[in-house]
Amino acid sequence: MNPSHPLSVRRQPPGGRAGVDATDRALVQALRAHARATYAELARLVGLSAPAVHERVAKLESAGVVTGYHAAVDPSAIGLGVSALVGVFTREGAEQDEVAERLREVTAVEDCWVVAGEETFVVKVRAPDVDALEATLAALRRTSGVGRTRTTVVLSTRWEGRVPFPETPAPAATSAPSPAAEDGG
């Protein structure tokens, strides 16, 4: 890892929790919406100074909250108009990590999740057309360790790529208001 590179990030240990406050959450949301904004522009959006934003972004990157920056691409604009979610059932005795690496080699696979349930994996695939999707499914089924697949073709996408950012729980009330106070009397 090159610490001077802008995309280098020290990751938080798995299962760790970074301490983020309301300002950090606002900053993360601003970065997600305007990743190319300057620190001064981000500062105006979250109500801080540019140096304070710079410092907070660096801390969020170090903590592994912000893991990188990317360009969002419309798949249909680059000729990938068909999407599908494919449940991948592995053969008995297949090594999960090995199968996952083989699935990575199928270029049409965009995302891969290990899931609970009958399937071992669910992968999201993108293809130019139905014929290419069929060829991708055949490639998935030929992948060593894969027993069978179950496919759901996406008809349209309402939204995707959302990462819900948890809100900080409101502090618990120290005492309940009396009924008289609620009634105004």
> What is the domain count for the chain?
2
pTM of the model: 0.70
pLDDT tens across 21-74, in order? 889 999 999 998 889 999 999 999 999 999 999 999 999 999 999 999 988 889
Q: What pLDDT score does 167 carry?
A: 67
Q: What pLDDT score does 168 carry?
A: 55
Residue 164 belongs to some domain of the structure = no
Residue 2 belongs to some domain of the structure = yes
Q: What pLDDT score does 133 carry?
A: 98
Parent domain of 91: 75-154
Indicate the average pLDDT of the chain: 84
Residue 63 belongs to some domain of the structure = yes
- How far apart are alpha carbons 80 and 126 in whole angstroms? 6
The answer for residues whose C-beta is within 8 angstroms of residue 120's C-beta and 6 or more apart is 88, 89, 90, 94, 96, 99, 114
pLDDT tens across 146-174, in order? 999 999 999 999 988 877 777 655 445 44
**Does position 9 have pLDDT exceeding 70, yes or no?**
no
The pair of three-digit structure tokens given for residue 127, joined into one six-digit string: 């293809």
Do residues 80 and 59 both lie within one domain?
no
Residue 162 belongs to some domain of the structure = no
